[in-house]
């Protein structure tokens, strides 16, 4: 005999709790509703159902306002870590070219200037802009270095440091781009919430 057929339809039916709007088996709705109304409260800020005894703690952790000492902006506590690390124009970021730490508000202008500095490329006998260095190395020297070197061990010794440096520069560039995209997305979401 099928086990679903043995269960009456009334046991499978569900009702919506008027307090928390969750679907509850109809046989338990009265008990659930009494418990829910007595013990849970809907947060007026986010709509989450929170135990009444933890509502103040929930507010402090998620919604209390924090004043940023760097930019003087008022931020919800839940977004504070993100603001501190990425969004605050006064948060410290590292230049991908010189590794100097600067406030976020100044980093793009600094990297624009710093990336225009040049370094001498020994194989090409040319000065190459730092912002173009990784692409230059990959496009022009990745294949010629392999063909020019006869000894595999010499190639590994000479390229190990530049490859690690290139990888680090590439990762830093990707991180900078990712941080910028995230900051723009979060800024637009916050702007929409305020509007």
In a domain, 117, yes or no: yes
In a domain, 188, yes or no: no
In a domain, 155, yes or no: no
Cα–Cα distance between 26 and 39 in angstroms, integer? 20
In a domain, 126, yes or no: yes
Q: Is 89:187 a contact under the CB 8 Å cutoff?
A: no
Beta strands in 27-138 (DSSP E): 40-42, 49-51, 65-67, 74-76, 92-94, 101-103, 118-121, 126-129
In a domain, 183, yes or no: no
Domain assignment of residue 122, given as a range: 95-142
Cα–Cα distance between 29 and 39 in angstroms, integer? 15
Q: What is the pLDDT of residue 146?
A: 47
Cα–Cα distance between 133 and 137 in angstroms, integer? 6
In a domain, 159, yes or no: no
109: Cα separation from own chain's centroid: 23
pLDDT string in tens for the chain (195-residue length): 444 445 555 556 888 888 888 898 988 888 888 888 898 988 888 888 889 899 888 888 887 788 888 888 888 877 778 877 777 888 888 898 898 998 888 888 998 898 889 889 888 898 988 888 888 888 877 755 444 443 444 445 555 555 566 677 777 877 777 787 787 777 777 767 665
Beta strands in 83-170 (DSSP E): 92-94, 101-103, 118-121, 126-129
Cα–Cα distance between 68 and 96 in angstroms, integer? 26
**Number of compact structural domains in the chain:** 2
Q: What is the pLDDT of residue 160?
A: 55
Q: What CATH number is associated with residue 107? A: 3.30.40
User: Whose structure tokens read 């979401």?
Assistant: 189
In a domain, 48, yes or no: yes
Least Cα distance to 159 among 168, 146, 172, 177 occurs for: 146
In a domain, 5, yes or no: no
Look at strands 101-103 and 126-129 and give their pairing: unpaired
């Amino acid at each position: 005999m099928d086990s679903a057929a043995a269960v009456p339809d009334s046991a499978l039916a569900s009702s919506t709790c008027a307090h928390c709007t969750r679907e509850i088996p109809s046989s338990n709705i009265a008990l659930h509703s009494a418990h829910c109304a007595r013990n849970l409260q809907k947060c007026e800020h986010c709509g989450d159902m929170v135990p009444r005894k933890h509502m103040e703690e929930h507010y402090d952790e998620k919604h209390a306002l924090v004043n940023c000492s760097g930019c003087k902006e008022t931020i919800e506590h839940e977004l504070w870590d993100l603001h501190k690390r990425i969004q605050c124009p006064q948060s410290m970021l590292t230049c991908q070219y010189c590794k100097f730490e600067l406030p976020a508000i100044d980093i793009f202008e600094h990297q624009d200037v710093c990336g225009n500095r040049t370094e001498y490329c020994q194989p090409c006998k040319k000065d190459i802009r730092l912002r173009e260095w990784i692409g230059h190395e990959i496009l022009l020297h990745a294949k010629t270095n392999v063909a020019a070197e006869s000894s595999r061990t010499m190639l590994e010794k000479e390229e190990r440091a530049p490859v690690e440096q290139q990888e680090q520069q590439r990762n830093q560039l990707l991180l900078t781009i990712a941080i910028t995209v995230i900051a723009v997305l979060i800024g637009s979401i916050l702007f929409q919430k305020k509007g």
